[in-house]
Amino acid sequence: MKKDTHPAYFADATVTCACGTVYKIGGTKEKSNIEICSQCHPVYTGNEKVLDTAGRVEKFKTRKAATKTKK
């Protein structure tokens, strides 16, 4: 490998989430900030909202069928 081409590696880099959770990981940046993590993401916390996608699909299909009959 060539010398002086790789970034510095920090074995105990700090990653801070917007919710306040702090992680110690290895990385090329000493400090990082993130917006969402496994402590505050809705999928992991159980607060996930289920969207009514079936209603949207049915609405689209009815509009599509209506345009076919007009032609």
Domains of the chain by residue range: 10-70
Q: What pLDDT is recorded for position 54?
A: 67
Give residue 51's pLDDT. 64
* CA–centroid distance for 36 within its chain: 7
Q: How many residues would you count in the chain?
A: 71
Tens-digit pLDDT profile for residues 41-63? 877 777 766 666 667 778 888 88
Which run of H or E residues covers position 53? helix 53-70
CATH number of 10-70: 4.10.80.400
Q: What is the structure's pLDDT at 44?
A: 75
